[in-house]
Structure 1
């Protein structure tokens, strides 16, 4: 009788073993999922100067959109410091203009634009002392320019519009945090600048004799990083960009509060901010995808035109096709 028990028990034991095996696999899968979900976010550092086109980043931070993520936005007072910090690897991302990206790309390989932030349509300018009313009056004068490719771009466009050349003026480098003081002290007769400094210089009686509305599509602001950062910081960049577009929506749906917050940050009056914002075009998510996916032919042509202009005037060290620096991977995840 007893010798029959093993035959009776084997099926039961087999069934129990299979049940425990399946349970073990389920537990392992759950533990793996928990482990993956609990993977901590990596620090993501972004260097940026204060410019109205970048303000949605700071607004998103102020509204708490990044409170649950290790995202650090570092405010640099000058262009040189911002670029140096990025090239040294002290930050993963930086804000810059298209010409700035082209300049950086000549120094480091595999740089990419991950976000098209805005087009300047008057927010960058050449502002002159009250007694200077025309660009032709700049001949023989001292002009302060930003120590960047952007400063030289605006200067060149300004002078060429009046058939002047760089040889017709004296040039000194003055970064954005020094411009207001130099202008008040009349150390310069005119200076290239941008918002919010432009509004402050206008309040001092400065005349706008040229602005970026006369060079549409050439001053494009970008969020830039190495191509590998899209993989190494995928989730963090997704949070950063989601906050950016959420801040753009907030400006539309809660303009009074948004402008009040921006005003405090850039140290302008709300009315000055409202006026300055009219000189910018922030790109939507859909517009970003179109440009970064290289389906917006008009924007691509404008980028190539700018690169050719810089190359022809020997403002750019190497010949670079800017459209090859566009990367849509991050915006496509939103």
Structure 2
């Protein structure tokens, strides 16, 4: 497991042994990113550990982010990220689309700036060998992170197979503890994602249901408070550019970037490529297509909100007309 931060506001630890690797990859960059122009608190971006979110931290390792201007903050669960956003301890976050929609429904204004990934099998329900069909979960114990993507995926699976939520026993787990809790609590199934799904498969669990059955339902995004967009447009533009720059550098030099990503993803460098299986990683051009007015993401958010209200995952719906803000995307 990656070490926990000692403080929400602590500076990220240095990795002296990787300084040469950083210099090597940074040299691939086409131009330096804009530096902070005046002393001010850094813009804090919250995130859990997840492959689709890793390019933010890779950007930090490659020194594409000025820590005086932008600071990634690793947190243990998406619920913690949303709480920190709500109380002003974060200005932005890497979240799923359903988490962003949920936050808006609860009165936390967030704008969607970029699509980080689209799940096509990366989010999964893993089960013990005796559980062969979703219907076998009736009356069984299922680990799931409440108020997050896991609850949405579980709800979709149960709905598709004629089960009600009250016909299963939900056990709260965080995503990064899902594999350990599955074993420790002797759960019958757990909603998880990579790299924990691979860890569970190595222990004998099997894939019962995944996001391939729900295309477009699970999308990861970069979201920010609208007041911060107005106050920090330059920092926001730098953040979005750094994410796409880090992704590009990883595609160009994976042998160099994989060792930087492996420790946080809890895998060996040679296994980094595998953790991205089941994820579509849209580039800038694809982002413009996905985020156009009335496009895939806008329609998906509206369908998702309707589904979540029907499944009682949301108490009420919220207007979504102003959800997406593409002003900070690099040119296609």
State the TM-score, normalized to the length of structure 1: 0.82
Please, what is the CA RMSD of the aligned residues? 2.1
Matching of residues 217-236 of structure 1 within 5 Å: 217-236=216-235
Aligned ranges 1:278-293 → 2 under 5 Å: 278-293=277-292
CA distance in 1, matches of 2:135, 2:187: 16
Aligned equivalents of 2:220, 2:94: Cα separation in 1 = 7
Deviations 1:269-317 (A, max 9, x none): 345432231211112112223333426x334323322222112222222
> Judging changes above 3 Å, is the alpha-carbon distance between structure 1 residues 333 and 39 closer, same or farther for their aligned structure 2 residues?
farther
Taking a change above 3 Å as real, the CA distance of residues 323 and 213 of structure 1, as seen in their structure-2 partners, is farther
Structure 1: gaps of 5 or more residues: 1-36
1:78 aligns with 2:69: no
Counterparts of 1:236-247 in structure 2 under 5 Å?
Answer: 236-247=235-246
User: Structure 1 CA distance, aligned partners of 2:288 and 2:261?
Assistant: 26
- Work out whether residues 126 and 155 of structure 1, in 8 Å CA contact, stay in contact via their aligned partners in 2: yes
SS in structure 2 of the partner of residue 307 of structure 1: helix
The residue that corresponds to 2:251 in the other structure is 252
| CA gap 1:282/1:322 in 2 versus in 1, 3 angstroms | farther
2:26 matched to which residue of 1? none
CA–CA distance in 1 between the matches of 2:314 and 2:268?
37
Tell me the residue number matched to 2:55: 56
1:28-67 aligned at under 5 Å gives the runs 38-40=37-39, 42-67=41-66
Q: Name the counterpart of 1:147.
A: 146
Q: Distance in 2 between the 1:301 and 1:114 partners?
A: 16
Aligned to 1:126: 125
* Contact 2:98/2:301 (<8 A) preserved: no
Q: Matches of 2:321 and 2:250 in 1, distance apart?
A: 30
Partner of 1:325: 323
Between 174-183 and 265-274, the greater mean CA deviation after superposition: 265-274
Structure 1 Cα separation of the partners of residues 290 and 126 of structure 2: 31
1:159 positional shift: 1.6
Q: Which residue of 2 aligns with 1:315?
A: 313
| Partners of 1:238 and 1:333 within 8 A in 2 | no
Q: Secondary structure at the match of 2:84?
A: helix
Structure 2 distance, partners of 1:42, 1:161, is 47
| Residues 283 and 132 of structure 1: CA distance in aligned 2, closer, same or farther (over 3 Å) | same
Rate the CA distance shift 1:168–1:68 in 2: closer, same or farther, 3 A: closer
TM superposition score normalised by structure 2 = 0.83
Report the structure number with the largest CA radius of gyration: 1
Q: Is the 8 A contact 1:245 1:284 kept in 2?
A: yes
In structure 2, the CA distance between the partners of 1:50 and 1:330, relative to structure 1 (3 Å rule), is same
Contact kept? 2:79, 2:148, Cα under 8 Å: no
CA distance in 1: counterparts of 2:66 and 2:313, whole angstroms: 41
Number of aligned residues = 297
Name the counterpart of 2:156.
157
Match of 1:6 in 2: none
Contact 1:124 1:194 in 2 (8 A): yes
> Where does residue 298 of structure 2 map in the other structure?
300
Given that 1:118 and 1:282 are in contact with CA atoms closer than 8 Å, whether structure 2 keeps it comes out as: yes
Matched with 2:267 is 268
Q: Which residue of 1 aligns with 2:30?
A: none
When you count helix as a share of all residues, which structure comes out higher?
1
Deviations 1:8-45 (A, max 9, x none): xxxxxxxxxxxxxxxxxxxxxxxxxxxxx953465111
Query: 2:81 aligns to what SS in structure 1?
Result: helix
Corresponding residue of 1:31: none
